[in-house]
Amino acid sequence: MKQAIIDLGTNTFHLLIAEKQGNGTYTTLFRESRPAKIGQAGINQGIITEDGIERALAVLSYFRQKMDEFGLEAEQVIATGTSAIRVARNQADFIQRVWQTTGIRVRVISGEQEADYIYQGVKAAGALTAKTALIIDIGGGSVEFILGNETRIFWKQSFEIGGQRLRERFMPDADTISSGSIRRLHDYFQEQLLPLANAIHQYLPTVLVGSSGSFDTLVDMWFMHNFGYLPPPDQTAFDLPLTEFYRAYELLITRNHAERMQIPGMIELRVDMIVVAVCLIDYVLKTYGIKQIKTSTYSLKEGLLASHE
């Protein structure tokens, strides 16, 4: 049985096509991520701009073509909309135009549901143990924080402080970030993340587990720097050394766009968003005294797949 999962993120759209085996496992047939940037220029105003809609339709038309190549029917496709679509005043118009143009039905999920699926994905990657972990998924529109271990979730919340929102607010030229902007970012995190601080005080996580996105790029940068090659594509969980995170952090906050693009392991998709992402990771590590980082290449898509047995 084939299944397609489409994650319509604020910055990036992801397509995963997998086939379920008899033993309940899945084989990946196709996966691709493409920038749609539906949050660009409108996310902090609660709207998807006309340009954003056009970019979305172009990416989804390509995804439709790929799904047709694999012979997928409408009922075999799950397409989820997250933060940018969740808060858009023109959400209904966007969903209607996607349906008319591509025949893809978009289901908007809540931040709570998103956090649940992310947890399922990270768990399926083998990134969790008996230790209490703080799982973080940094999207373009929202960031999901989940406290849990390999058996259960203790606490979860979605915050509308994603990378695109932070960039437009604290890094408007999108090229470099100033030390003043980093200080303002930290003040903003402190103010916004009060519920997280209370939950951390209660559950005392000892490891940060980063879900996909910027964390994948940090792992790619680490492998390229240390070994000269990219990580094995079939490995789904990594232990990222703290020293390596801080080597990357210093590089990313001190270089401009063109210089960041020259860093081995960097990709165009992440080159700007990763700057505010590492500022958030740095804030979390220092504020909550966490000394260990693990990463999961699995996130929302794989969680959806695991949840739709």
39-74 confidence digits (pLDDT tens) = 998 888 999 999 999 999 999 999 999 999 999 998
Number of H helices, E strands in the chain: 12, 11
Instruction: Mean pLDDT check: name the lowest of 21-35, 92-106, 180-194, 201-215.
Output: 21-35
**Start-end of H helices in the chain:** 50-69, 83-87, 91-102, 111-124, 163-170, 179-192, 194-203, 214-226, 242-254, 257-261, 273-288, 300-307
Asked if 55 contacts 36 with a C-beta cutoff of 8 angstroms, the reply is yes
User: What mean pLDDT do residues 228-240 have?
Assistant: 97
Q: Is the pTM of this model over 0.85?
A: yes
Structural domains of the chain sorted by starting position, each given as residue range(s) with its CATH number in brackets: 2-109 (3.30.420.40), 112-303 (3.30.420.150)
Asked if 11 contacts 167 with a C-beta cutoff of 8 angstroms, the reply is no
pLDDT of residue 24: 73
User: What mean pLDDT do residues 27-31 have?
Assistant: 95
Q: What is the pLDDT of residues 71-117, one digit of tens each?
A: 999 899 999 999 999 999 999 999 999 999 999 999 999 999 999 99
Angle formed at CA 115 by CA 112 and CA 284, multiple of 5 degrees: 115
pLDDT of residue 12: 94
Find where tokens 């703290």 sit.
242
Sheet of strand 143-148: strand arrangement: 153-159, 143-148, 133-138, 207-211, 293-296, 237-240
Distance separating alpha carbons of residues 134 and 136, to the nearest angstrom: 6
Distance separating alpha carbons of residues 176 and 204, to the nearest angstrom: 34
Q: Higher-confidence residue: 214 or 22? A: 214
pLDDT score of 174 more than 70: no
Instruction: Mean pLDDT check: name the lowest of 145-149, 177-181, 281-285.
Output: 177-181
pLDDT score of 22 more than 80: no
Find where tokens 């038309």 sit.
61
pLDDT of residue 25: 82
pLDDT of residue 197: 98
pLDDT of residue 308: 78
DSSP-based three-state secondary structure for 274: helix
pLDDT of residue 44: 87
Instruction: Mean pLDDT check: name the lowest of 19-23, 182-186, 214-218, 230-234.
Output: 19-23
Q: What is the pLDDT of residues 130-152, one digit of tens each?
A: 999 999 999 999 999 999 999 99
Q: Which residues of 87-105 are buried (b: 16+ CB within 10 A; e: fewer)?
A: bbebbeebbebbeeebebe
pLDDT of residue 309: 59
